[in-house]
Amino acid sequence: MLKQKIILRADGNKLIGFGHIYRLLALADILKEHFYIAFALYKTSDFIEQEIKSYCDEIIILPGELPYKTADEISAGQEINFDLKDILNGDEIVVLDGYHFGINYQKAVKEKNCKLVCIDDLATNRFVADAVINHAPGLDQSIYKMEAYTKLYTGLDYAILRKPFMRPHSSINKIDGDVFISLGGSDYFQLTLKIARLLVDVKELNTLHIMYSNSFPKGMIDTLEKISNETTRLKLYMNLSANEIADLMDTCEYAFVSASTVLLEAYSRNLICFTGFYTTNHFFIYNGFIKLNKAIGLGNLKDLNPSILNEVFKNPDYYPNQNSDNLDTTSKQSDPPAKNLLKLFLDLNLKLRSVELADMKLYFDWANDEVVRNNSINQNAIEWDNHVRWFTDKLKSKYFKLYVLDYSATPVGQIRTDLNEDGNWVINYSIDKLWRGFGFGKKIVQLLIEKEPGKLFLAFVKTSNDLSNKIFQSNGFDLSGVKIINNEKYNAFEYLK
């Protein structure tokens, strides 16, 4: 099957930085096994373009020059003109990350009949997207203005991080007192130099490991290199890969970072994080981390001074709770963010449709799948002639409803309901063996409930079928008891909400 195309749309330069691009590259890293990924942007640095090519199947350089201001200089309603008109066919998923993709740009994408996802940090625009993601923790979702169909995904459960930052962290190579410092890919306000000067003589700290890029102001690079040559306490790193950054973080105890994606990265590596803001798009992440005691707040980094640092270092009780389990792939508390994000994008193209006569063979193959038969009340193999009679009879019956779950026009599962003598609808579902493990079981039950509201649904699930039991419970079904059928135990679930 051909992979569906996702078009990532973001921009970056020395003025606005490269955070939007790197965030979408993290998303590409999560999705690229299951989708064809293209990245559309205005001309940027050769290094960034090479980075994009290492994550994506295609890079699309848009004609013209980047017409952007910084996030602090724009207001609600300001946006760029729609620039994907000649690129979209209508069957893509478009992902927008930036502050200039306003309501008109979003509507233009939707009018092309594409699915739309917006990555957002400001909540200033009204959203007509199918999904909006803001990975800031502790966010009040009521601040968003959006359509009734728009789904909002917030918090660290949807942290958009590259895969090296999702791996289990280790303290084997950690050096007490070492510090990781990163203030963005362009550092327009030259805060890296300011923090380096403030920290280089702090006795509680050891080596300062400073990330920088060739997009930094040249004068600042020259000064940092001069300081680095004069002391062994300051080391500079330029254009590291995600793996190299994660490895470097794992050698450090502390991080001094802006309240952007780099804060989530440092938190995922279990560093004690000092963070601050210097632009409005940092506020949600900053406030969430401070409110939940996941980082130490330094306020506006433009105003950082020795007295603020002295106050922090003389109060060790002020240090945060180090608990990054929800960004760890080993977490048993919830699905890791990468899995949640993959489910989100797969779900965008799921559709529950009524069955057709042409689905007869498909239903037959699904019904005779070994796993399906083992979990069925009737475990005998189904003969074709019997199936033909059963299928054609059920198509005509008003007491029986059959549906197929399609993913981008590919059938991936079935669900049916049978009206019993008590007026209750008994559910039976299955997922194609090639599509198991993507959360489609939970989704197919959810879509059925949405399609037929107000009905009393029943389900009988083998007590040994842990996955199916969890699916009905997660969809709000109540366990009403255990029933013995054909000498086997089945959990009886019912739903009426």
Local confidence pLDDT in tens for the 497 residues of the chain: 568 999 999 998 877 778 899 999 999 999 999 999 999 999 998 889 999 999 999 999 999 887 766 656 666 556 788 999 999 999 899 999 998 898 999 999 999 999 999 999 999 889 999 999 999 999 999 999 999 999 999 999 999 999 899 888 777 889 999 999 999 878 888 999 999 999 988 888 899 999 998 888 899 999 999 999 999 999 999 988 899 999 999 999 999 999 999 999 999 999 999 999 998 889 999 999 999 999 999 999 999 998 888 887 776 555 665 555 556 444 444 578 999 999 999 999 899 999 999 999 999 999 999 888 888 877 888 899 999 999 999 999 999 999 999 988 889 999 999 999 888 999 999 999 999 888 899 999 999 999 998 899 999 999 999 999 999 999 999 999 999 988 889 999 999 87
**Phi, psi angle pair for 192, to nearest 5°:** -60, -45
- In this prediction the pTM is 0.84
Residues in the chain: 497
β-sheet bridge partners, residue 494: 458, 478
Count of CB atoms within 10 A of residue 462's CB?
17
Pick the closest to residue 451 from 334, 306, 325, 354 (CA basis).
354
93-97, strands of its sheet edge to edge: 58-62, 35-42, 4-9, 93-97, 115-119, 131-134, 151-154
Count of CB atoms within 10 A of residue 90's CB?
8
CA distance 205 to 123: 38
Alpha carbon distances (Å) from 39 to 44, 54, 115, 278: 12, 11, 16, 28
CB 492 within 8 A of CB 479: yes
Alpha carbon distances (Å) from 378 to 39, 232, 471, 485: 50, 73, 21, 10
Count of CB atoms within 10 A of residue 75's CB?
8
